[in-house]
Amino acid sequence: MSETTTTNTTGSATTTEALRERALKLDAADPLADRRELFALDDGVYLDGNSLGALPAHVPARVQDVLTRQWGELRIRSWEESGWWTAPERIGDRIAPLVGAAAGQIVVGDSTSVNVFKAVVAAARIAGEGRDEILVDATTFPTDGYIAASAARLTGHRIVPVAPADVPAALGPRTAVVLLNQVDYRSGRLHDLPGLTAAVHAAGAVAVWDLCHSAGALPVGLDEHGVDLAVGCTYKYLNGGPGSPAYLYVAERHQAAFDSPLPGWNSHADPFGMTPDYAPVDGSARGRVGTPDIVSMLTLEAALDAWDGVEVDAVRAKSLALTDFFLECVEAYVPAGRVTSVTPAAHAERGSQVALRCDDAESVMRRLIERGIVGDLRRPDVLRFGFTPLYVGFADAERAARVLAEVLAETAGA
């Protein structure tokens, strides 16, 4: 991975004034600027939406209705009268346009980890006999690797860790499944979903993508690029709330062959028949397992209202402009040599976060948070700043870079 060390060009009052003025002009021209008022934010700068999205301000009232009227008054009747039973597919169809999928291919429920397990095992079964390798992104979020290893033990496959760029060379006649993250959670590097999916298919294997750090931040194009299966969380850029349910995408062409390793009563063709033998329902509902987590699920449904009328292409354009501007401000403000960007400079290789390698990162992030600049870190030395275009503005980016420079100047030589 190439790295670019930032340099302090001037750091002068003139530079600061010019960057602040540019930020104000960019915010004034931002077509998504009005979305910010939909969220419950304080006067700080929240750059950790790639871990937990901000609360859409209308959600508490909607959840109150779920608790007091739907549960408190209607009680069991809400499974039908309030649409509880159909929520996993209904909310899946709300998410579908945000990841480039047609309706009927996404079901919401369970955690990302559980959905990774379902997807990898089902993919191995779809791939068929004679293929015994599961290629796993060697840089993946740890849980994906843990789950894939367990799935491999269950299905008699072996795990082959490989860097995403090396996947084409690692593919072969024994490859059954390839599990990849679209965006690296540490560095923010965006991997080539179209090209890698095509390479996987050319080798006769099944592609499974983790969209946790891309859905809601950039166009994904699941249908357009022929992705087989995908999973993702909803509490980051989709702002569904802490622990909000994840989702599972099963391409329509694979739904009849989708053999879930967790065949629960919710995915039975006759769920209330209570028969001893399992018969799977048709469609994406095959990804359901047990009783849905209704309160969290309906919280997510309410949160998705913030996306009404928003085009993902506009989100992507603002994301790239924000991260470009933040990096420019860091270069102008931060003392020379104090941070190194590990986020790719090329737009085609960048997600919606900026990761800066920094000595004493834990202490620096703690001081930033004390001053109202909320990011996070990945030990031992990476500061992460997530840019959620629905509520982060250019003035936020300028302020975050300026406070970062102040903190680093104060800690120089400490």
The residues that bridge with 268 in the sheet, in sequence order, are 280
- Cβ distance 50 to 384 under 8 Å? yes
Q: What single string gives the DSSP state of each residue in 197-251?
A: HHHHHHTT-EEEEE-TTTTTTS---TTTTT--EEEE-SSSTT---TT---EEEE-
For residue 39, the surrounding DSSP H or E stretch is none
The residues that bridge with 232 in the sheet, in sequence order, are 247
- Cβ distance 88 to 108 under 8 Å? yes
Give me the active site residues, please: 141, 210, 235-236, 384
Cα four-point dihedral sign 94, 98, 102, 108: negative
Other residues' Cβ atoms within 10 Å of the Cβ of residue 172: 13
Cis omega before residue 380 (within 30°)? Answer: yes
Q: Quick one: tokens of 114?
A: 């559980």
Q: What single string gives the DSSP state of each residue in 141-173?
A: -HHHHHHHHHHHHHHT-EEEEE-GGGHHHH--T
